[in-house]
A and B are shown apart, each in its own frame.
Chain A
Amino acid sequence: MIALLARRARAQWPLLASLLAVLTIGATLLGTCALLVTRTSERAVEVAAARATADDVEVTAYTVEIPPGNARSVAADTREILAASIEPFPAALTTRASSVMRALPGDGREAYLSGVEGLSARSTLISGRWPRAAGDTSAGRPLEAAIFDNTARLLGLKVGSRIRLGAELTVDPAGPVTVTVVGLVHPLPDAGWDRDPLGGEGFDPDPSDAAFGRKMQAYGPFLVDLADLLASGSALDRLEVNARPDLADPKARDLDTLSASVLGADARLAAKLTGRVRVERVSSALPGTLAGARDQQELTAEAVLALALIGIVLTAIALALAGRLATGVRADESELLSALGTSRRQFAAAATVEALALAVLAVALAVPASAALHAALTRIPPLSGAGLAARPAVTGPQVLSVAGGALVLAVLLISLAVWPAASSGDRRSRRELLARSGADLLLVALAGVGWWQLTTQPAGAGTRADAVRVLAPALLLTAGTALALRLVPPALNRAERLAARTRGLVAPLATVQAARRPQAVAAGLLIGLGCAAATFGAAFDDTWHAAQHDQADLAVGTDLSVVLGAPPLTGQSTAVAAAVGGVVSPVAEHTVAVGQWLGGAGAAPRLLALDTRKAAAVLRGRGDWPSVAKPLIPATPVPGIALPRGFVPVISGTATDNAAVTVTPFLVLEDATGLRTACSGTAVPLDGHAYPVPGCVPDDGLRLVAVALPVSGVPGGWAAVSTVDVGLTVPGGATADKWGVKAASPESGQLSGTTVAIAGGRLRMTGTVKFAEPIAASRTFVATAFGNPGPVPIAISTRLAGDVSAQVGSKLSLTYGVTPVDAVVTEVVPAIPSAPGAAAAMADVDSLSRALISRGDLDSPVTAWWAGHPRADAAARVAGLHVGPTITRAGETERLTGSPLRASVPAVLRLLVAAAVVLLLGGVVLHVTCDVQLRALEVARLRGLGMSRRSIRRALLGEHAAVLLPLLVAGAAVGALATRVVAPLMIRSDTGGAPIPAAHAHWPWLTEGLLFGLLVAGTGLAVFAVVTVQARRADAAHLRVA
């Protein structure tokens, strides 16, 4: 038997080579996909971790209220716990600590000490030098300190000044300390000062945590050496240790260990510091970042498997065709062997030996081939761009996949040899027809179930690999092709009937052969599915990319977003606009409460406010934003009072009944981009004297649009009433046109009879003040250059509309921070830019600002800058401003499409398209070549009957064209249909949920046209070459064989 097989192999080597080629292609495809979902996938997690931003990976331990004696030990233990949690990765640890407040000379003032590691990287030295360690602080040596320039200005300190900070404002205070100012510094933005007790502002006229509830003004920090602070005997209000692990070259296994270790660090720190601090906490985005990477890894693996499965099905069909053709070619030989007494078992044994030998050879070829193909794939975009380039390597999972795949395909080959198909020319038996119909129906039913499950999968589906999403595409394509094939024979039968009416032989012979030869139907599945898979792959690639673009557009909401690390400063807009270019808008993004509704867990409603006049240029994401924004635009602009650069307003006023009344002036200034910032002066008594409010107008183009005056004082009891008259100088020529004044909290009833007037270069406010409420905010005059703003028009998302049962015209009461804002709904839209899928609203930032100011909330709501059509280097230029992190639409798109964790999807799509084209063309060549062999004698006899070579060639070409072209067209139609009904359902967001906005099917006509042209041309070329040879060989030599 072995000898027979060996001789047959020598004689039929081209046939065996084609079987081996198909087996090897399938096994290589499997091996490559196995490498993509294992080796590349793991590498992707590592690269993603290495590329993660500092915020995503740093680990911070917070400790609060540390008694004086514990400061050093708490700091040391916290650092130790954190360092151990980061192992085996090296980490840079930085510590910062702030003392509790200490009394400053003079009533109602307090200050604090801070020790910050890396101070020189977080601030710029303006004058003097950096503070040095004082060493032995117990000896009473003064501490060296640096202070912010504005703190120095407000306290009247300079380099060389010495100041005594009084006892701590706690129940068990430590004694005073003396500090010497050795340097003046200016805090750098985005350098961690947001974690300073005063947010890096250097001064707070009304700190929320003022000791003992007294009216205090807070100053600081006094930046001393950290070791000095820890040894100074001061109680610490807070101590933070930050660890930034170095993940430059991580191993996925170590990352999992790191994640688990960080998750347990909180408990370990609590156990270590028990009793020594009031609160301790370890916080980090690292475990979430790594878990997100793992989730994404699973999602990508699922998509890769789904696409690989299409390739495997295609390979199996190609092999089935090859096997069937092989048995057809060997039909005479099998008949002879059977006549000689060869049993079915012996046939099966021979087929098994041959198939296993082919499988072993295929494995031997496919293992290095898949390693090389995988390495090549990783060296071209998108994998190369994602940093996933890899050398060829052989892994266990890859070998197992290749061997398993080859074995399964070998079993298929054996079954085809044992149960050969009917020979050509035979009519299909009823049983065969029923079996095929049953198989088709089963396929269609399974595909229907798959499609139904895809359509009903929940929008928030998780990231676990879903068998339906893996199987459904292959099932749907196969079932679609099988159904399409059902349409081809009737069409060919019709063509045959039409051709039969003609006189000649060429057309009838071509159509009869096409319609009646069973091999044509068998090859049809491969050709149809190959074309369907290739066109689907190309269209899915386009659809997937378009969906990622759509998601990125809506997620960012604009071309470039600069998220501010601190409230915007006056004049910032000029710098940002110059750096960014294009169209720039200030943006407020904040969570809000709607009435009493705060949203579900982790899903607080959000409000986005921007300059809606620029919506067309700034907003991105699917939607007609200009028309949505149009009703949100304020009816009239705010004129305000233009202030020249360097202008210093002077405030003065009086209060009746000799009351010791003070007011703290707040000026709201608007720049050319619409950014409004508040500038405050110190509290001034209304004693008739003039007090300047310096430093408020640093730039040209600023306009005064509002003035707020909180009134404080204890004029002799809660029932006292005083009439105040306050004036603020403004440039001459200003008028009171459109200016109005009201109480910020009219409901408190502490302010009445308010008036505002502008005359003689003075903005004058008067009113009657009651002092029954202890909070100054209840007695705040707010004079504005715009009248009553009324409800803020907003567009809301469908989700918010559903959550609060709102519709167009509904009036909503929002709470922005702590300030109530009335709003009215103008439109309900599917989603709000930058808040896809969220309960969110969009408003005009000017309208929002007016509403907030009129309620006495003068803090700028602006949290970001958005830019449309920015310059190419905008992100780099903005980074130089140190105002906050930058997010770009292009960057988000790149993250979604080209990130290491997602790049395998487009890569495997290209692999699928290439494999489908190769298998299709290979199948065509195989089919036509075997046809040549099977029908050589028949063609020679046609020559014997007087048919010319030309006519034979025409008949054969016509026959193959009649089969192949409809199959290619049907395959393309199935591909298009699958793209429309399946592709959008297969696409998930990076968190595993349904993408927002929903994915739409894309059919890239140019690509598909080129692909279809390639398939037609390739098929035509193969057929033409083989048919030409076949017609040339049709001579007496073949007749002699008969």
Chain B
Amino acid sequence: MTAPILTVQGVHRTFGSGPAAVHALRDISFEVEPGTMVALVGRSGSGKTTLLNVIGGLDRPDEGAVTVDGVDVTALDEDGLSQLRRERVSYVFQTFGLIPVLSAAENVGVPLRLARAEPKERERRVELLLDLVGLSGHAAQRPGELSGGQQQRVAIARALAASPRLLIADEPTGQLDAETGLAVMALIRGIVESEGVTALVSTHDPVMMALADRVVRIADGQLVP
């Protein structure tokens, strides 16, 4: 049996204190096998984004542990977390998260620059990734000149640029119409299969859930069967 790529153990996260305290996550524990696509499902406010932020090291749990690719995320300092996100974990945001003044190719190249890749290697990989997401002809266009689906595909290409072990996508189809959303999810599915990446995707769309290898449900900050 292969070791899990992601282990979440007894994670608690509370915002505020006293009577106004909001328990966003309560005793969350689960594991994710490498090379799988896991759908994190729950209603708005159920704690999906908080859980993804904790896993990606953008937020810290009050209690519990998160291990990504053998690295204890909760034990990392600021620099360690930055390194984790540069090398092992990638994000795809609901609102795409592209830098408006950069072209599609430049946006894809951001993680490679953070990794200080050779310029030629960077250009080759950017070209490859844009081809992978079907945007070879849109490399010089800026986000404002692309459709929502195209922007999200650029975001996925960017997320894959640094060859992460774990791809975290926070409602990647939330701002897309059903058809485009399905195409994007299919793209992620295809990438998981072709690139061997593990994907943890939050969604509340049952159609999207069908593409996942496994579904993890969360409600009121707790996993539900």
Chain A residues engaging chain B, CB cutoff 8 angstroms:
423-427, 501, 503-505, 508-509, 512-513, 516-517, 937-938, 941-949, 951, 1035-1036, 1039-1040, 1042
The 3 closest A-B pairs by CB, nearest first: A425-B100, A946-B86, A946-B85
Nearest chain A residue, comparing its CB with the CB of B158: A945
CB-CB contacts below 8 Å: B86-142 with A = 86-87, 90-91, 93-95, 97, 99-102, 106, 110-111, 113-114, 116-119, 122, 142
Contact-residue size bin, chain B (C-beta under 8 Å from the other chain)? 35 or more
Nearest chain A residue, comparing its CB with the CB of B142: A425
Our pick among A501, A943, A945, A951 for the contact of B119 (Cβ within 8 Å) is: A501
Contact B83 A938 (CB under 8 A): no
Contact B83 A946 (CB under 8 A): yes
Q: How far is A981 from B59 in the complex, measured between Cα atoms in Å?
A: 60
List the B side residues contacting A504 at CB < 8 Å: 113-114, 116
Q: A425-B143, A1040-B53 are in contact. List 12 more A-B contacts (CB 8 A).
A: A423-B100, A424-B101, A426-B144, A427-B142, A505-B110, A938-B99, A944-B56, A945-B91, A945-B114, A951-B114, A1035-B58, A1039-B53
- B82 in contact (CB, < 8 A): yes
Contact B117 A503 (CB under 8 A): yes
List the A side residues contacting B78 at CB < 8 Å: 948-949
Contact A945 B111 (CB under 8 A): yes
Q: How near does chain A come to B140, taking the closest CB pair, in angstroms?
A: 11
Give 1 or 0 for each of B136-156: 1 = CB within 8 Å of chain A CB: 000000111100000000000
Contact A946 B101 (CB under 8 A): no
Nearest chain A residue, comparing its CB with the CB of B100: A425
List the B side residues contacting A941 at CB < 8 Å: 91, 93, 97, 99
List the A side residues contacting B99 at CB < 8 Å: 425, 509, 938, 941-942
Q: How far is A503 from B116 in the complex, measured between Cα atoms in Å?
A: 5
Q: How far is A941 from B82 in the complex, measured between Cα atoms in Å?
A: 12
Q: How far is A501 from B114 in the complex, measured between Cα atoms in Å?
A: 14
Q: How far is A427 from B144 in the complex, measured between Cα atoms in Å?
A: 9
- B84 in contact (CB, < 8 A): yes
Per DSSP, are chain B's interface residues mostly helix, strand or loop, or mixed?
A: helix
Q: How near does chain B come to A936, taking the closest CB pair, in angstroms?
A: 13
Q: How near does chain B come to A259, taking the closest CB pair, in angstroms?
A: 67
- B14 in contact (CB, < 8 A): no
Contact B114 A946 (CB under 8 A): yes
List the A side residues contacting B58 at CB < 8 Å: 943-944, 1035-1036, 1039
Contact A946 B116 (CB under 8 A): no
List the A side residues contacting B79 at CB < 8 Å: 948
Q: How far is A339 from B97 in the complex, measured between Cα atoms in Å?
A: 23
* Known contacts A424-B101, A512-B106, A1036-B58; A944/B93 CB under 8 A: yes
Nearest chain B residue, comparing its CB with the CB of A944: B91
List the A side residues contacting B83 at CB < 8 Å: 946
Q: How far is A423 from B143 in the complex, measured between Cα atoms in Å?
A: 12
Nearest chain A residue, comparing its CB with the CB of B50: A1040
Q: How near does chain B come to A10, taking the closest CB pair, in angstroms?
A: 22
- B49 in contact (CB, < 8 A): yes
Our pick among B53, B86, B113 for the contact of A503 (Cβ within 8 Å) is: B113
List the B side residues contacting A509 at CB < 8 Å: 99
Our pick among B53, B84, B114, B116 for the contact of A1036 (Cβ within 8 Å) is: B53
List the A side residues contacting B116 at CB < 8 Å: 503-504
List the B side residues contacting A505 at CB < 8 Å: 110, 113-114
Q: How near does chain B come to A1039, taking the closest CB pair, in angstroms?
A: 6
Contact A947 B114 (CB under 8 A): yes
List the A side residues contacting B84 at CB < 8 Å: 946
B90, B93, B94, B117: residue with the most chain A Cβ atoms closer than 10 Å: B93
Q: How far is A501 from B50 in the complex, measured between Cα atoms in Å?
A: 38
List the B side residues contacting A513 at CB < 8 Å: 101
Our pick among A508, A947, A1036 for the contact of B59 (Cβ within 8 Å) is: A1036
A423, A425, A427, A504: residue with the most chain B Cβ atoms closer than 10 Å: A425
Q: How near does chain B come to A243, taking the closest CB pair, in angstroms?
A: 79
Nearest chain B residue, comparing its CB with the CB of A424: B100
List the A side residues contacting B162 at CB < 8 Å: 946
List the B side residues contacting A424 at CB < 8 Å: 100-101
Contact A1042 B93 (CB under 8 A): yes
Q: How far is A427 from B59 in the complex, measured between Cα atoms in Å?
A: 35
Contact B144 A425 (CB under 8 A): yes
Q: How far is A810 from B176 in the complex, measured between Cα atoms in Å?
A: 96
Q: How near does chain A come to B210, taking the closest CB pair, in angstroms?
A: 26
Q: How far is A354 from B91 in the complex, measured between Cα atoms in Å?
A: 41
Q: How far is A844 from B87 in the complex, measured between Cα atoms in Å?
A: 92
* Known contacts A505-B113, A944-B85, A944-B93; A512/B119 CB under 8 A: no
List the B side residues contacting A944 at CB < 8 Å: 56, 58, 85, 91, 93, 97
Q: How far is A831 from B181 in the complex, measured between Cα atoms in Å?
A: 86
Q: How far is A1035 from B101 in the complex, measured between Cα atoms in Å?
A: 21
Nearest chain B residue, comparing its CB with the CB of A516: B101
Nearest chain A residue, comparing its CB with the CB of B99: A938
B56, B78, B85, B97: residue with the most chain A Cβ atoms closer than 10 Å: B97
Q: How far is A569 from B143 in the complex, measured between Cα atoms in Å?
A: 95
Q: How far is A516 from B106 in the complex, measured between Cα atoms in Å?
A: 13
Q: How near does chain A come to B108, taking the closest CB pair, in angstroms?
A: 11
Contact A946 B111 (CB under 8 A): yes
Q: How far is A513 from B101 in the complex, measured between Cα atoms in Å?
A: 7
Q: How far is A19 from B117 in the complex, measured between Cα atoms in Å?
A: 45
Q: How far is A942 from B114 in the complex, measured between Cα atoms in Å?
A: 10
List the B side residues contacting A508 at CB < 8 Å: 113
Nearest chain B residue, comparing its CB with the CB of A517: B101
List the A side residues contacting B56 at CB < 8 Å: 944
* Known contacts A505-B110, A947-B82, A949-B78; A1042/B143 CB under 8 A: no
Q: How far is A795 from B50 in the complex, measured between Cα atoms in Å?
A: 93
Contact B97 A948 (CB under 8 A): no
Q: How near does chain B come to A726, taking the closest CB pair, in angstroms?
A: 106
Nearest chain A residue, comparing its CB with the CB of B164: A946
List the A side residues contacting B97 at CB < 8 Å: 937-938, 941, 944, 1042
List the B side residues contacting A517 at CB < 8 Å: 101
List the B side residues contacting A512 at CB < 8 Å: 101-102, 106
* 18 residue pairs from A and B, CB less than 8 Å apart: A423-B100, A501-B119, A503-B119, A503-B122, A509-B99, A942-B99, A943-B85, A944-B56, A944-B58, A944-B85, A944-B93, A944-B97, A945-B85, A945-B90, A946-B86, A946-B111, A1040-B49, A1040-B50
Q: How near does chain A come to B203, taking the closest CB pair, in angstroms?
A: 16
Q: How near does chain B come to A880, taking the closest CB pair, in angstroms?
A: 78
Q: How near does chain A come to B106, taking the closest CB pair, in angstroms?
A: 7
Nearest chain B residue, comparing its CB with the CB of A952: B82
Q: How near does chain B come to A517, taking the closest CB pair, in angstroms?
A: 6
List the B side residues contacting A425 at CB < 8 Å: 99-101, 142-144
Q: How far is A866 from B134 in the complex, measured between Cα atoms in Å?
A: 93
Q: How far is A76 from B56 in the complex, measured between Cα atoms in Å?
A: 108
List the B side residues contacting A942 at CB < 8 Å: 99, 110
List the A side residues contacting B117 at CB < 8 Å: 503
List the B side residues contacting A947 at CB < 8 Å: 82, 114
Q: How near does chain B come to A424, taking the closest CB pair, in angstroms?
A: 6
CB-CB contacts below 8 Å: B25-81 with A = 49-50, 53, 56, 58-59, 78-79
List the A side residues contacting B143 at CB < 8 Å: 425
* Known contacts A943-B58, A944-B97, A946-B82; A423/B144 CB under 8 A: yes
Q: How far is A509 from B109 in the complex, measured between Cα atoms in Å?
A: 11
List the A side residues contacting B101 at CB < 8 Å: 424-425, 512-513, 516-517
Q: How far is A951 from B85 in the complex, measured between Cα atoms in Å?
A: 14
Q: How far is A503 from B110 in the complex, measured between Cα atoms in Å?
A: 10
CB-CB contacts below 8 Å: B150-188 with A = 158, 162
Contact A948 B82 (CB under 8 A): yes
Nearest chain B residue, comparing its CB with the CB of A422: B144
Q: How far is A1035 from B56 in the complex, measured between Cα atoms in Å?
A: 12
Nearest chain A residue, comparing its CB with the CB of B82: A948
Q: How far is A503 from B145 in the complex, measured between Cα atoms in Å?
A: 26
Nearest chain B residue, comparing its CB with the CB of A1040: B49
List the A side residues contacting B82 at CB < 8 Å: 943, 946-948
Q: How far is A948 from B82 in the complex, measured between Cα atoms in Å?
A: 6
B53, B95, B100, B117: residue with the most chain A Cβ atoms closer than 10 Å: B100
